[in-house]
Structure 1
């Protein structure tokens, strides 16, 4: 089980964007005096680079700027961080544009010269309504089992928290071992149904003839071995949440019955003559490609649309590599305690191997590798050789040459930019490449040198 030691930041983080340096300085002073942590960007492009380095709780941007204006920045922010609120600052002549932007989802707008107290009030309202963690100032008990320092994962969790407050059916996609059930449990904890049961079932782990009885229940004598009435999981989850994992493995005949249950909000136990009303919120997940299953006739379109009202795509471990040291150290300490081994850290070389591995098995595979190293460790610090052995013992850890080359190039460029704090000239010199070629490499991997300058500052 993944736990977190990361608590919300003490101060809400605001990214200020304006091409006027004097206004930026004034805004920053006023917001810092009101308890905010601020970062500044003098253009939309610089703001996107800053977002890549660290995710704020809100963006406050001027509407009219050279190059990428405030609306274009809003569209780019919305594409990358769906739940991140944006407030526009605009001149009186641009009010119609600001109103139109509000209709598109901008959190608010203020006209220049703006009132500082009103801006601060709008920021607080926008952060609160977006579920901003650092503004909430409350312990994130609902996600206490999820450990992350990834900006992409933080944004994903804010989306999950927003969805938790509603009754909408959520479909969670993602690779095996990424933590789909853990996320479903967190959504339940953040929902109004948190005090009621959370019930999970893996649809692919139960034989077809038993799955219907497990879901809907049966009455005594319904089939051989049914010696008494049995409540199904829909009844067991009364008032709470039912999580159907690996829904893509559900047999087609049972899909028809599940669809009827969802439409009529009642179940009929196997062998029964009457139906029973149900009150559950349904979450579902799979690692399979349901679009392909639908095209091949293995999954019903009507059930798919009923389950997939809102979709959440859980990031793989490879997409949140900054979490690997955090997770690996957490697993290490937990397993060392369980096995009573005096192990407390990975060597730097061992951690580099963990960071570079492809992790097709995601968090589950990382846990397995750490467990192997703890079981075989003879020193307090785990050496690289043990990690290498554990990774080689997993056949799934082999990646293609092309994947390995791309991963190496991207990681190499990131290391260079961190080392030179975003100085492209120095980085290109170290890589023995000219600046033009180096910029081309950065563009290929969507890396912004400016983000590393801001991060260093």
Structure 2
């Protein structure tokens, strides 16, 4: 078991209110917590604890269950009524374990049995304080570049340090990470930390723009280049002049356009559609994808020479599950932001609601967490978001956190699989049903790594298994 984190000497010490009628136990607990770096307010009864609540303003209450007069469970009820988000940890003898278990279902952060393990106690206190901590704000001017990225995890700290160094150069950067992990936010942060910060930051999702329009969007067009070209149009490369262009979901760029992009990167100039002359450009390229580009190169879906041109420096974003210590920070940060949007007075999450968020699976990463917080914010009728609302939001189907490009990709593949099953793998018949020519249909099958032969007769079952693995 990892050692419990201790309070930093550069930040205010957290205050813990300790309650126990056993003078020796109270002294031992106080010494242990003070040695770990906490401020301790020690009292011998529930009544004394309640008297200290508003004066001492503790960040956590640690109480024995067996107390003279009002017991620890009654103390918890009173603390909860006054300060709903204040975490409480109970110390219990074996005879009161059932009461303590019931208390956790009502909102007690956790309970420990006597004799307690000192290391486990410190870990539980650190966890409770982390869960109830407000979102970190980046007040220092030198951190303004990353102000939109809320984090305290070591993984993100290391990543941001590397991103800051990369930002000082003009090297092309490839951002890798699952959908919803924050690739565009990191790209914006790199731009703000770079010498190009005063110039435009422009983002384009290569998977969300139809193939027929993507070239014009990127490189521009001249009047008369095609039917709807009624005037000259500057492309996104020119719009980002002097600044940074993010090519998001670069792995979804059509092969024909990959060739033209490579030429632009080599020549540092763009030629608008229909133009006879190239226009010099000065743009820093950041690209991003959730796809495995090396696997795409192996199947000729992505050009190797373009990959190495884009991949001068690679930064990989962790999933939200790999930075769980950030979940409470992000949830509180989003709640504060969304409460203003919905004009609601929300003070935070109930402790058990916050615990549920930190323990949940997050296949949609930070984007999914934002959507969940937005749902509970819109529906909450109390200042403190309850567990029931969080549980309801977490049961929301994961399709609601798909981006437009992801939803389109999923539909397109499922549609092709359905056609191939219907036609027993006959590409000519499937293309006819789809009202597409065979060449275009083969290109779609290659894009989604579908082999028609796998859909013939008894091979269908094998393709179903492959589909499940792909999904």
Provide the TM-score with structure 2 as the length reference. 0.55
Match of 1:252 among 252, 255, 279: 255
**How many residue pairs were aligned?**
266
Match of 1:162 in 2: 165
Contact 2:164 2:193 in 1 (8 A): yes
| Alignment of structure 1 residues 19-58 onto 2, 5 Å | none
Match of 1:303 among 283, 303, 306: 306
Of the structure 1 ranges 164-173 and 138-147, higher mean CA displacement relative to structure 2 is found in: 138-147
Match of 2:102 in 1: none
Contact 2:320 2:366 in 1 (8 A): yes
Match of 1:390 among 372, 390, 393: 393
Match of 1:97 in 2: none
Following TM superposition, by how much is the alpha carbon of 1:342 offset from its aligned partner in structure 2, in angstroms?
Answer: 2.4
Contact 1:360 1:396 in 2 (8 A): no
Matched, 1:177 2:188: no
Contact 1:217 1:269 in 2 (8 A): yes
Matched, 1:216 2:219: yes
Distance 1:331 1:261 in 2: 39
| Alignment of structure 1 residues 13-412 onto 2, 5 Å | 138-395=141-398
Contact 1:237 1:280 in 2 (8 A): yes
Distance 1:238 1:392 in 2: 44
Following TM superposition, by how much is the alpha carbon of 1:176 offset from its aligned partner in structure 2, in angstroms?
Answer: 0.6
Question: Structure 1 stretches of 5 or more lacking a match?
Answer: 1-7, 12-136, 398-457
Distance 1:259 1:9 in 2: 51
Following TM superposition, by how much is the alpha carbon of 1:334 offset from its aligned partner in structure 2, in angstroms?
Answer: 1.4
Provide, for residues 278-307 of structure 1, a one-character-per-residue CA deviation record: whole Å limited to 9, x for no partner: 110100001111111111111111101110
Contact 2:204 2:246 in 1 (8 A): yes
User: CA 1:252–1:261 in 2, change beyond 3 Å: closer, same or farther?
Assistant: same
Provide, for residues 319-342 of structure 1, a one-character-per-residue CA deviation record: whole Å limited to 9, x for no partner: 111111111011111111211222
Distance 1:197 1:393 in 2: 37
Following TM superposition, by how much is the alpha carbon of 1:138 offset from its aligned partner in structure 2, in angstroms?
Answer: 4.7
Provide, for residues 412-446 of structure 1, a one-character-per-residue CA deviation record: whole Å limited to 9, x for no partner: xxxxxxxxxxxxxxxxxxxxxxxxxxxxxxxxxxx
Contact 1:152 1:320 in 2 (8 A): yes
User: CA 1:186–1:279 in 2, change beyond 3 Å: closer, same or farther?
Assistant: same
Distance 2:376 2:154 in 1: 29
Distance 2:367 2:338 in 1: 14
SS at match of 2:142: coil
Of the structure 1 ranges 260-269 and 333-342, higher mean CA displacement relative to structure 2 is found in: 333-342
Match of 1:437 in 2: none
Moved over 6 A (4+): none
CA RMSD of aligned residues (A): 1.9
Distance 2:175 2:372 in 1: 26
Contact 2:364 2:398 in 1 (8 A): no
Provide the TM-score with structure 1 as the length reference. 0.56
SS at match of 2:174: strand
Provide, for residues 366-420 of structure 1, a one-character-per-residue CA deviation record: whole Å limited to 9, x for no partner: 01111111111111111111111110123479xxxxxxxxxxxxxxxxxxxxxxx
Provide, for residues 77-119 of structure 1, a one-character-per-residue CA deviation record: whole Å limited to 9, x for no partner: xxxxxxxxxxxxxxxxxxxxxxxxxxxxxxxxxxxxxxxxxxx
Following TM superposition, by how much is the alpha carbon of 1:358 offset from its aligned partner in structure 2, in angstroms?
Answer: 1.2
SS at match of 1:299: coil
Distance 1:372 1:280 in 2: 39
User: CA 1:138–1:377 in 2, change beyond 3 Å: closer, same or farther?
Assistant: closer
Contact 1:361 1:396 in 2 (8 A): no
SS at match of 1:139: helix
